[in-house]
């Protein structure tokens, strides 16, 4: 039996496939939802927003677009999205992403971990937990900082295994030596060595 998180990671993967391939980033998909506490089969989940890399104009990330789309619907600027996210007793905000949110970006733009942690400002619960299908490969920033930064901000995170090859194949599609990079990224994780 597969983990109940898999369908959401697959939904993020479908979003990532809409992203225009570029050698300068990864193709990633994100889904933001509200989840009822103690609802193990997620029957009462409410999808709030989705996003994928470069969905919105400019050099935008999936998580960034997910928040921006929600902010637009609620008629606030992107940086005020935390103020319009729902706060409901007995429910938590959860984000699914195909790849670990970035802690640093070569472009110098605000990393997605910062956008996630900002939702918890002003005494708001904000994003409670982030689920992702792969750690960020070292292509651009080396050892990824995302998970450590989320922990530091008191935000839970969890790697949902099983779709690494699919996720990396989509993520690297715009890269020169995509296949090589996928193999390298898979090889790094002992758990996937058998399906390279």
Q: Please, are residues 112 and 68 in contact by the beta-carbon 8 Å criterion?
A: no
**How far is it, in rounded angstroms, from Cα 191 to Cα 196?**
10
Size of residue set near ligand HJL by CB under 6 A? 21
**Partner interacting with residue 42 (select from Zn ion, ligand HJL, none; CB below 5-8 Å by kind):** none
**How far is it, in rounded angstroms, from Cα 150 to Cα 130?**
9
Q: Contact between 61 and ligand HJL (CB under 6 A)?
A: yes
Strand 29-36 vs strand 127-134: parallel, antiparallel, or unpaired? unpaired
Q: Contact between 109 and ligand HJL (CB under 6 A)?
A: yes
Within 73-102, which residues bind ligand HJL (CB under 6 A)?
97, 99, 101-102
**How far is it, in rounded angstroms, from Cα 184 to Cα 190?**
12
Q: Contact between 114 and ligand HJL (CB under 6 A)?
A: no
Residues in contact with 190: Cβ distance below 8 Å, sequence separation at least 6, in sequence order? none
DSSP class of 85? S
46-52: strand order across its sheet: 46-52, 29-36, 91-99, 127-134, 156-159
Q: Contact between 34 and ligand HJL (CB under 6 A)?
A: no
- 56, 72, 110, 141: which one binds ligand HJL (CB under 6 A): 141
**Partner interacting with residue 141 (select from Zn ion, ligand HJL, none; CB below 5-8 Å by kind):** ligand HJL
**Partner interacting with residue 14 (select from Zn ion, ligand HJL, none; CB below 5-8 Å by kind):** none
Q: Contact between 26 and ligand HJL (CB under 6 A)?
A: yes
- 17, 36, 56, 59: which one binds ligand HJL (CB under 6 A): 59
Residues that bind ligand HJL (CB under 6 A): 24-26, 28, 53, 59, 61-63, 97, 99, 101-102, 105-107, 109, 112, 136, 140-141
């Amino acid at each position: 039996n597969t983990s109940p998180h898999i369908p959401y990671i697959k939904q993020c993967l479908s979003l990532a496939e809409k992203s225009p391939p570029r050698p300068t980033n990864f193709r990633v998909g994100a889904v933001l939802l509200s989840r009822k506490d103690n609802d193990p089969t997620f029957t009462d989940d409410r999808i709030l927003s989705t996003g994928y890399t470069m969905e919105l104009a400019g050099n935008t990330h999936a998580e960034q677009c997910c928040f921006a789309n929600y902010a637009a619907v609620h008629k606030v600027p992107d940086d005020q999205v935390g103020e319009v996210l729902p706060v409901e007793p007995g429910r938590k905000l959860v984000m699914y992403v195909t790849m670990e949110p970035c802690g640093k970006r070569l472009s110098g733009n605000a990393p997605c971990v910062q956008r996630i942690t900002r939702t918890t400002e002003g005494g708001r619960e904000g994003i409670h937990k982030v689920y992702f299908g792969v750690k960020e490969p070292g292509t651009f920033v080396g050892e990824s900082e995302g998970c450590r930064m989320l922990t530091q901000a008191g935000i839970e995170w969890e790697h949902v295994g099983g779709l690494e090859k699919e996720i990396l194949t989509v993520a690297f599609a715009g890269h020169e030596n995509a296949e090589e990079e996928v193999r390298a990224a898979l090889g790094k994780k002992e758990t996937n060595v058998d399906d390279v």
